[in-house]
């Protein structure tokens, strides 16, 4: 029998603040174990939290980017549970009064747009990390991550397939990148996803029993875990078995989910408002100031590229899909106002170098201005199209300017007119019969003569100059 999967996601995104949410320790990824923590974020008794304003601002930016209502009044709560990566035995989170509620994120799957509703986005602190040393049979704790600000983005159960779930995570990641509040590096755990999934029959009016899959940290495993769970639950329902409400873990190597704990020992977190952290009260002016800081979002950029710049939808999408590429594109167009030519050079030549791993967008060894001047040199025949590609490769390798590289390697087309004159005269003399044909009205042989001249004048003169000189001589 075929069932309808009903899926809701909870995405945890680490915010890119410089310091942690309740202390001034560095919130940067990595670092030697336990080198980026203080008594506060190591949960020592008697320490007092001081709320990081930037974390609140970033959470609001994320909310605005995802069409949420922002609560001007919000409260931090203690979520009580014990786990060794959180020595104070509670996590500061938000329950009743989160910062953002009721948003939506549009996704596109199979050419159709669908709005995935958000229930809320709340702000909380991250826990530390356990490192399991199987060899010595011990577990060690690293508290560097403890206290890094996190937002939790909670959807309504509007997602019905693995494709939709992946499209949603991709879109959220894009919006977070544009707002600049999260690195979205899933491989560093900056974006992690929990999946709630149940199945129902088309005629059912109520959702089935749901299962939660915890801590998925790549798009691929989100897709695989959902596919696996749909098969597992379908098989059970077909056999007349009951689905148990439980939390499961996805094993990437085996491609299977496995039970972690069931409802019987589900947590009762005994939330209560944190007495040490003041309530957050925002004014309309605060919110307007934050809204004014938002950059142009991807959907607006896409529109601009297609409607104002005349790019194809495919090219526009490639550029918009990574903020770094889109920013670099805009900066290049500012320096050389030929949007289509710049788009072609980026999507074909530059991204080829990026995909080959020769260079990365966050570490380009040249400026948008230099890149613009390379494209302009190629468009105005100062260098040949083919040499322009070589120059780009050398720019990547050496960081030198395109002008210097062109000069050093003899790529500059100097338009030596006397040389053109001499060579074209020779070509005409060698092909006297063809010239005769031309003069008798067989103008189609022009192409042949042009080809002969170009062969000998390549790199010396631009095609335009060769053509003009040849035409003048044939008259
Ligand atoms: Zn600290």
Same domain, 384 and 424: no
Separation of CA 77 and ligand 1 centre (Å): 19
Same domain, 186 and 242: yes
Pair of tokens at residue 171: 């879109």
Nearest-angstrom CA–CA distance, 312 and 317: 8
Separation of CA 293 and ligand 1 centre (Å): 28
pLDDT > 60? residue 205: yes
Supply the Cα-derived Rg of the chain in whole angstroms: 31
Same domain, 142 and 251: yes
pLDDT > 60? residue 264: no
Separation of CA 21 and ligand 1 centre (Å): 9
Whether 72 maps to a domain, the answer reads yes
Separation of CA 11 and ligand 1 centre (Å): 24
pLDDT > 60? residue 326: yes
Whether 228 maps to a domain, the answer reads yes
Whether 289 maps to a domain, the answer reads no
What 3-state class would DSSP assign to 219? helix
Same domain, 90 and 172: yes
Whether 54 maps to a domain, the answer reads yes
| CATH number for the domain harbouring residue 433 | 1.10.10.410
Separation of CA 76 and ligand 1 centre (Å): 18
Separation of CA 268 and ligand 1 centre (Å): 28
Of 360, 382, 408, the domain-final residue = 408
Separation of CA 95 and ligand 1 centre (Å): 24
> Could you tell me where the DSSP H helices lie in 294-416?
298-307, 313-320, 323-335, 339-344, 351-355, 368-379, 385-398, 402-408
pLDDT on residue 267: 66
pLDDT on residue 265: 53
Separation of CA 22 and ligand 1 centre (Å): 7
CB atoms within 10 A of CB 313: 10
Separation of CA 145 and ligand 1 centre (Å): 10
pLDDT on residue 464: 83
What 3-state class would DSSP assign to 78? strand
Same domain, 28 and 107: yes
pLDDT > 90? residue 154: yes
Whether 291 maps to a domain, the answer reads no
pLDDT on residue 266: 54
* pLDDT winner (highest mean) among 133-137, 317-321, 456-460: 317-321
Of 352, 378, 408, the domain-final residue = 408
Separation of CA 144 and ligand 1 centre (Å): 8
Domain with 363, as residue range(s), is 296-408
Average pLDDT over residues 82-90: 91
Average pLDDT over residues 390-406: 95
DSSP symbol at 159: B
Of 390, 408, 426, the domain-final residue = 408
pLDDT in tens, 16-68: 999 999 999 999 998 999 999 999 999 888 899 999 999 999 999 999 999 99
Same domain, 339 and 303: yes
Whether 358 maps to a domain, the answer reads yes
DSSP symbol at 172: H
- 315/414: higher pLDDT: 315
pLDDT on residue 176: 96
pLDDT > 90? residue 225: yes
Pair of tokens at residue 337: 């106002």
pLDDT > 70 fraction of the chain, expressed in percent and rounded: 99
Average pLDDT, the chain: 93
Contact call for residues 257 and 213 (beta carbons, < 8 A) = yes
What 3-state class would DSSP assign to 457? helix
pTM: 0.83
Average pLDDT over residues 343-368: 94
Whether 290 maps to a domain, the answer reads no
Same domain, 41 and 91: yes
Separation of CA 120 and ligand 1 centre (Å): 27
DSSP letters, 119-144, are: EEEEEEE---EEEEETTTTEEEEE-T
Separation of CA 43 and ligand 1 centre (Å): 9
DSSP symbol at 283: -
Contact call for residues 314 and 303 (beta carbons, < 8 A) = no
Average pLDDT over residues 293-308: 95
Bridge partners of 151, per DSSP, are: 13, 123
Whether 451 maps to a domain, the answer reads yes
Same domain, 335 and 401: yes
Bridge partners of 73, per DSSP, are: 281
pLDDT on residue 398: 93
B/e letters for 250-261, b = 16+ CB within 10 Å, e = fewer, are beeeeeebeeee
Average pLDDT over residues 205-215: 92
pLDDT > 60? residue 440: yes
Contact call for residues 445 and 433 (beta carbons, < 8 A) = no
Q: Are strands 138-142 and 129-133 parallel, antiparallel or unpaired?
A: antiparallel
CA 303 to chain centre: 18
Number of domains making up the chain: 3
Contact call for residues 119 and 9 (beta carbons, < 8 A) = no
Nearest to 214 by CA among 267, 160, 272: 267
Same domain, 199 and 340: no
pLDDT > 60? residue 170: yes
Same domain, 382 and 464: no
Same domain, 58 and 30: yes
* pLDDT winner (highest mean) among 39-43, 93-97, 439-443: 93-97
pLDDT on residue 120: 97
Same domain, 249 and 333: no
Q: How far is CA 381 from CA 76, 377, 393, 461, in A?
A: 63, 6, 18, 9
Separation of CA 24 and ligand 1 centre (Å): 6
Q: How confident is the model at residue 460 (pLDDT cuts 50, 70, 90)?
A: confident
Separation of CA 261 and ligand 1 centre (Å): 32
Separation of CA 59 and ligand 1 centre (Å): 20
pLDDT on residue 210: 92
């Amino acid at each position: 029998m075929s069932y309808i999967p009903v899926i809701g996601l909870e995405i945890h995104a680490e915010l890119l603040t410089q310091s942690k949410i309740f202390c001034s320790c560095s919130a940067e990824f990595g670092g030697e174990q336990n080198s980026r923590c203080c008594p506060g974020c190591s949960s020592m008794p008697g320490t007092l939290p001081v709320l990081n304003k930037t974390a609140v601002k970033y959470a609001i930016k994320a909310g605005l980017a995802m069409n949420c209502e922002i609560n001007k009044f919000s409260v931090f709560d203690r979520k009580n549970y014990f786990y060794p990566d959180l020595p104070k035995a509670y996590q500061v989170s938000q329950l009743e009064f989160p910062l953002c509620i009721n948003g939506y994120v549009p996704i596109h799957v199979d050419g159709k747009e669908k709005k995935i509703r958000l229930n809320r986005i709340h702000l909380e602190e991250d826990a530390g990390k356990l490192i399991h040393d199987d060899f010595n049979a011990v577990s060690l704790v690293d508290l560097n991550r403890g206290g890094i600000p996190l937002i939790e983005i909670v959807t309504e159960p509007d997602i019905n397939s693995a494709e939709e779930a992946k499209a949603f995570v991709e879109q959220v990641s894009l919006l977070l990148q544009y707002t600049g509040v999260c690195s979205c590096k899933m491989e560093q755990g900056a974006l992690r996803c929990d999946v709630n999934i149940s199945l129902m029959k088309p005629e059912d009016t109520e959702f089935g029993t749901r299962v939660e899959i915890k801590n998925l940290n790549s798009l691929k495993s989100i897709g695989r875990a959902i596919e696996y769970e749909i098969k597992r639950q379908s098989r059970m329902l077909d056999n007349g078995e009951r689905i148990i409400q439980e939390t499961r873990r996805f094993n990437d190597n085996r491609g299977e989910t496995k039970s972690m704990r069931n409802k019987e020992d589900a947590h009762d977190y005994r939330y209560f408002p944190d007495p040490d952290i003041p309530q957050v009260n925002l004014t309309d002016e605060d919110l307007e100031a934050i809204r004014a800081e938002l950059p142009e979002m991807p959907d607006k950029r896409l529109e601009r590229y297609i409607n104002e710049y005349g790019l194809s939808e495919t090219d526009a999408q490639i550029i918009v899909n990574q903020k770094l590429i889109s920013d670099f594109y805009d900066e290049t167009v500012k320096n050389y106002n030929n949007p289509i030519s710049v788009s072609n050079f980026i999507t074909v030549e530059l991204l080829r170098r990026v995909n080959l791993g020769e260079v990365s967008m966050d570490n380009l060894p040249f400026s948008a201005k230099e890149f613009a001047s390379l494209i302009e040199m190629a468009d105005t025949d100062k260098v040949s199209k083919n040499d322009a590609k070589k120059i780009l490769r050398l720019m990547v390798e050496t960081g030198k300017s395109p002008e210097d590289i062109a000069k050093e390697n003899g790529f500059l087309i100097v338009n030596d007119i006397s040389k053109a004159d001499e060579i074209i005269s020779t070509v005409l003399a060698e092909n006297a019969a063809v010239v005769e044909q031309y003069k008798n009205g067989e103008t189609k042989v022009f192409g042949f003569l042009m080809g002969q001249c170009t062969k000998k004048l390549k790199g010396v003169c631009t095609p335009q100059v060769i053509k003009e000189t040849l035409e003048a001589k044939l008259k």
